[in-house]
Structures are given as structure tokens and as C-alpha cells.
């Protein structure tokens, strides 16, 4: 596996770079963005993997969240993969909430999606293996995301907590089995048998597997138009309490689902992760 650099921009003493590579897991070319802080010039640094939401690409977080300044201070690499496989021969759908841009960070089992849509294996296995072998990033990982990406971050941490030091999420789709976005995607990608859905649902994972040991922070805006129908935050809070997982859930009046919300609180999330990653802040 090789990385091809697409672009490189100096930022806060570090480098924002866009790469592409061929993914064996997904069977197609993939693009991703990486911010390397200044500390990476001295050796490998810990990494925060950011999973974006519906309709997004690798660019949304890097261009809109304003995370590079604090990541440079803390010595944390930021890694933003795309949200789905793309390219010629990759299945798609006209709707914004299925197909390209809507991979839901699971491993699809149904035709035609199963041929390429294995985003869970891509973000948790192939991509870290590639980056840790070719870039100055270490195996100390945290994971975070927004909306569909918040769902992806939570399930990755709940399914395999040993791979991460901490997890956080903005406006996550917490109980996809019980919301329209999740039900549509799960039916298409996993089939109609709902027992197959359970391993991709954060609430169900908490109920069935119990709480992981890693720390978790969740941010949600109380003016989010998707809060009541799609996100399931209260159900997540109840499942976490029942499992004994001390999830820090912060609720903010007036904030919505946009990147204005993410940008408002991304510094708090980066500092939260830095405490658990063993990052090396600038002197």
C-alpha cells in the first residue's frame, strides 16, 4: 500500500496534507486528509481519527472545524478519511442518505453494497495500518466524529475499545436501529433481519456488551433539527447509565447540527483527547 500526496499546505507550524491511495478493503481509490503537527518532525505523534457525517468528504472537517491550531499546540495528528467508497463501479443511490457519502461506517453484507462498502474495516484496520507505517503517527489513537461519523466513532470504540484511548462525538446517530436514517441504511447495507443490525448500534452494543473502560464525551445542540427524530441522545444516556459507563454528555442551548456547532466545541474535545493520548504540547 502506498500513499500519493495530492496537496500540502503549511498550517500552524505543521502540515495539512491530502493523500490518495488504493484501498484493498474497499476495492477502489480513496482520498483522505491528514494534519501533522510541528511535533511530528521529531517523531511519531498520537492521532485523532475524525469520521464525518452524511454528504461529507475528507475536506469538511479540515476546512470548517478550525481544529489545526489546537492540534498543533497539543501535538496531535488529525486524520479525516472520506465517508464512503467512491469511483467507477461503486454502487450509489440518488438519495443523500444512502450510497456515496453515506457509508455509515459498517461492513455491508447485501448486494450491491457488499462489494465495496466495508468502511468499518477501512477506518479501524486498513487506514491505521497504512498511516502508522508511512507517516509519523503512532499507535496511540483516539476517535471522534459528527452525526453519522459520531455513530461510527461510538461503534468503533464499543466494538474494539482496545484500539483507542478515548472517544468523543458531536450530535451522534446513537440508536440507528430506531431512527429513519439508520433504518434506511441498515436495511440496504445489512438486510431486513434486524438481529444483524444490533452489532452496529451504539445503544444495543452498550446493552449487550456492557461499558468499555475508555473515556467518552458527547456534545449535542438543543436546537439541532435532528435531535428528536434521528439522534437518540437520551436513549444513549440511559443505556450508558445502565451499563455503568460515565459518558460526559454536554447539551448546549441554541446550537444546531452544523459545523458552526462543531467549531465552537472542537477545542474542548481535542483537550479531552490529549489528556488520554499522552500528547506532547508545545513548550
251's CB contacts (< 8 A; 6+ apart) are 220, 221, 222, 233
- Catalytic residue (one of 146, 257, 269, 273): 257
Kind of pairing between the strands at 4-11 and 14-23: antiparallel
Does 52 qualify as catalytic in the annotation?
no
Of 118, 7, 108, 115, nearest to 63 by C-alpha is 7
In this structure, are residues 173 and 151 in contact, taking their beta carbons and an 8 Å threshold?
yes
How far are the Cα atoms of 17, 46, 105, 135, 233 from residue 204, in angstroms, in the given order?
A: 37, 30, 16, 36, 13
269 is catalytic: no
224 among known catalytic residues: yes
Given 147, 168, 171, 174, the catalytic residue = 147
Long-range contacts at 240-244 (CB < 8 A, ≥ 24 apart):
240/206, 240/211, 240/216, 242/206, 242/207, 243/206, 243/207, 243/210, 243/211, 244/210, 244/211
Q: Which of 58, 82, 201, 224 is catalytic?
A: 224
Active site residues: 147, 224, 257
Amino acid at each position: 500500500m502506498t500513499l500519493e500526496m495530492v496537496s500540502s499546505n503549511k498550517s500552524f507550524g505543521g502540515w495539512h496534507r491530502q493523500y490518495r491511495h488504493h484501498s484493498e478493503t474497499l476495492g477502489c481509490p480513496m482520498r483522505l486528509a491528514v494534519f501533522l503537527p510541528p511535533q511530528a518532525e521529531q517523531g511519531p505523534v498520537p492521532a485523532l481519527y475524525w469520521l464525518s457525517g452524511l454528504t461529507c468528504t475528507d475536506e469538511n472537517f479540515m476546512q470548517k472545524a478550525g481544529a489545526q491550531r489546537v492540534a498543533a499546540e497539543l501535538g496531535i495528528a488529525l486524520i479525516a478519511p472520506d465517508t464512503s467508497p467512491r469511483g467507477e463501479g461503486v454502487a450509489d443511490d440518488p438519495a443523500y442518505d444512502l450510497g456515496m457519502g453515506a457509508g455509515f461506517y459498517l461492513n455491508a453484507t447485501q448486494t450491491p453494497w457488499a462489494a465495496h462498502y466495508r468502511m468499518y474495516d477501512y477506518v479501524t484496520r486498513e487506514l491505521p495500518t497504512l498511516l502508522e507505517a508511512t507517516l509519523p503517527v503512532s499507535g496511540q489513537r483516539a476517535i471522534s466524529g459528527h452525526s453519522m461519523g459520531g455513530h461510527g466513532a461510538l461503534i468503533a470504540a464499543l466494538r474494539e475499545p482496545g484500539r483507542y484511548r478515548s472517544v468523543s462525538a458531536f450530535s451522534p446517530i446513537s440508536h440507528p436501529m430506531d431512527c429513519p436514517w439508520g433504518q434506511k441504511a441498515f436495511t440496504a447495507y445489512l438486510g431486513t433481519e434486524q438481529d444483524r443490525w444490533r452489532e452496529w448500534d451504539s445503544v444495543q452494543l452498550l446493552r449487550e456488551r456492557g461499558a468499555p473502560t475508555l473515556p467518552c464525551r458527547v456534545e449535542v445542540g438543543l436546537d439541532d433539527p435532528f435531535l428528536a427524530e434521528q439522534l437518540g441522545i437520551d436513549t444513549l444516556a440511559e443505556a450508558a447509565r445502565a451499563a455503568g459507563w460515565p459518558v460526559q454528555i454536554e447539551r448546549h442551548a441554541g446550537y444546531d447540527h452544523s459545523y458552526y456547532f462543531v467549531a465552537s466545541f472542537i477545542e474542548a474535545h481535542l483537550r479531552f483527547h490529549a489528556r488520554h493520548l499522552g500528547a506532547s504540547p508545545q513548550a
